[in-house]
Structure 1
Amino acid sequence: MEDIKKRIRKFRSDREWEQFHTPQNLAKAISIESGELLENFLWNNNFDKDAVSEELADVVIYCLYMADSLGVKIEDIINNKIDKNENKYPVEKAKGTSKKYTEL
């Protein structure tokens, strides 16, 4: 993952795009790219895996830029979130159900 982070940072830096990568702009970009990802599933379940993969990559790249912008380590925030989710969704209550934790 570190090699990927270095590569996308260099890509951005070479183009002097850091100035545009504020948390606000990155949040918008993540939302827009997520919409483009979702568009691949509009109307039916027949989707182009390459197109979906490309949009997924855009979402992940912008998420990595957001973590950079906020000065957080993506691994840390993911682990913290999983810790919280493990408490909200204990296996004995959540296994096999899609109910929200407030309904378990």
Structure 2
Amino acid sequence: MSDPFKYLHDAMEEFSAERDWDQFHSPKNLAMALTVEAAELQECFQWLTEAQSIELDEKQLTAVRDEIADVQLYLVRLAGKLEIDIEAACRAKMEKNAEKYPADQVKGSAKKCTHYQD
């Protein structure tokens, strides 16, 4: 695990241990909590126009920042429970995506990958 993720992993381990929350942090429960936090992030943008979603005021930006942090912290905790190196997983997934979505075939298109190579 890279240094930033290791720091967050260790900090989340300590935070949870101090509160005796590890008993609640099964992969299933963490994945469920993650979806709740992702929904809270979506809520920050609910009813905003495209332009408004780009031009957030400081209060809105603070709320988005907090929700992004919550999502990331749950991801770090879940990855830690499953012994997944987030950085390595992201690099591998980016390689898969590059193969799945060749730039010369998908540039400027939002179509699903089924329209390209399998």
Q: TM-score, normalised by structure 1?
A: 0.91
Shift of residue 15, structure 1, vs aligned partner:
1.3
Indicate if the aligned counterparts of 2:31 and 2:78 stay in contact, CA closer than 8 A. yes
Residue ranges of structure 2 left out of the alignment (5+ in a row): none
Match of 1:38 in 2: 42
Given candidates 12, 15, 25, the residue that maps to 1:8 is 12
**Quick check: 1:50 aligned with 2:98?**
no
Displacement of 1:3: 2.1
The answer to whether the 8 Å contact 2:8/2:76 transfers is no
How far apart in 1 are the matches of 2:48 and 2:106?
29
- 2:98 aligned with 1:94: no
Aligned residues: 104
Task: Tell me, in whole angstroms, the C-alpha distance in 2 between the residues paired with 1:63 and 1:71.
Answer: 12
Is residue 2:71 matched to residue 1:59?
yes
In the alignment, the residues of structure 2 paired with residue 38 and residue 68 of structure 1 have an alpha-carbon distance, to the nearest angstrom, of 25
3-state SS of 2:90 partner: helix
Q: Is the 8 A contact 2:8 2:73 kept in 1?
A: no
| Secondary structure, counterpart of 2:45 in structure 1 | coil
Higher relative contact order (CA 8 A, sep 6+): 2
Kindly state the Cα deviation for residue 56 of structure 1 after the two structures are TM-superposed: 0.8
Structure 1 residue identity aligned to 2:9:
K
TM-score using structure 2 length? 0.81
